[in-house]
Amino acid sequence: MRIRSSASNSYGRKSASRGNTYTMTFRTGDASGHGVLVPCSKEIKTNDDLVQEVQALWKAEAPNSETGTISSDWGCVGALFRSDAATQKLAADWTAYFQKAKAQTVSVVKKNGLLDIGWPNKLDGTLVDFDVILATANEPENSSPTAQVVADAWADQCGYEDYFFNNVRCGIRTPDDGAIWQRLNEKSPCWLEKKEQEYREAIDTLCVEAANR
């Protein structure tokens, strides 16, 4: 399900393991950008169910992490719970687990393991209908890189730019996407011509948006 983000989405963390290109982060404040919600592998009825999903999510985010972990020094999994009686115990159990695990926190995940962002909306503006939402969150740079800086990092390497184009293709968007694409198109890095067809769906989306601005 595609959603309107309830936080500020940006390419805000430089990743040494991805060629010093930028990965997406959340910042508290004005909601901006779009995201995608993917259902859990099974219905969550107990905290054990929730923990299994959290551990699997973190393993997908950090494949080389130790099995059972849910955080590192650069990020962690956080949770949002619907504000009703049915989820109060689950939320309390999650906080107890998060704190017992001594999980590292980042700016958008509080010490109780809860995401410090609002409840997201569907694209039509209505609230999404879920009991719990999980997300991995990274610690952003102290100062937000400009769209030009982000684009130049991808332009100066080959391979990791697929992160940007796959996000666009899947509907995971930031307000800077248009400016990032404009800069990449202007610089015309060597990989762009070689991979133009591979990225065609995302490029077409970006070009249509640019023409309609």
pLDDT band at residue 84 using 50, 70 and 90 as cut-offs = confident
C-alpha span between 162 and 150 (Å, rounded): 13
22: exposed, middle or buried (C-beta count within 10 Å: 0-12, 13-18, 19+)?
buried
Q: Are residues 17 and 99 in the same domain?
A: yes
| pLDDT for res 111 | 96
| pLDDT for res 194 | 95
Average pLDDT over residues 33-51: 92
Q: Are residues 8 and 54 in the same domain?
A: yes
CA distances from 26 to 9, 53, 153, 172 (A): 5, 21, 20, 12
The pLDDT tens digits of the residues spanning 2-20 come to 888 777 889 999 999 999 9
| pLDDT for res 160 | 97
Q: Are residues 153 and 129 in the same domain?
A: no
Q: Are residues 119 and 192 in the same domain?
A: no
Q: Are residues 75 and 169 in the same domain?
A: no
Q: Are residues 133 and 160 in the same domain?
A: no
Q: Are residues 24 and 92 in the same domain?
A: yes
Q: Domain boundary residue among 103, 121, 138? A: 138
Q: Domain boundary residue among 108, 138, 168? A: 138
Q: Are residues 9 and 78 in the same domain?
A: yes
Within the chain, strands assigned E span 2-4, 8-15, 21-27, 34-36, 71-72, 75-81, 121-122, 132-138
| pLDDT for res 2 | 83
Q: Are residues 121 and 24 in the same domain?
A: yes
**Considering the chain, what is the average pLDDT of its residues?**
93
| pLDDT for res 28 | 77
pLDDT band at residue 136 using 50, 70 and 90 as cut-offs = very high
Work out whether the CA dihedral 174, 176, 179, 185 comes out positive or negative: negative
Total tally of structural domains belonging to the chain: 2
C-alpha span between 4 and 68 (Å, rounded): 31
Look up the domain containing 133 and give its range. 2-138
Q: Are residues 99 and 161 in the same domain?
A: no
Name residue, tokens 């070009």.
207
Q: Are residues 19 and 78 in the same domain?
A: yes
pLDDT band at residue 32 using 50, 70 and 90 as cut-offs = confident
The pLDDT tens digits of the residues spanning 190-208 come to 999 999 999 999 999 999 9
Average pLDDT over residues 120-137: 92
Average pLDDT over residues 122-150: 92
| pLDDT for res 27 | 80
Q: Are residues 45 and 132 in the same domain?
A: yes
Q: Domain boundary residue among 92, 120, 138? A: 138
What is this structure's pTM? 0.90
Name residue, tokens 């800086």.
149
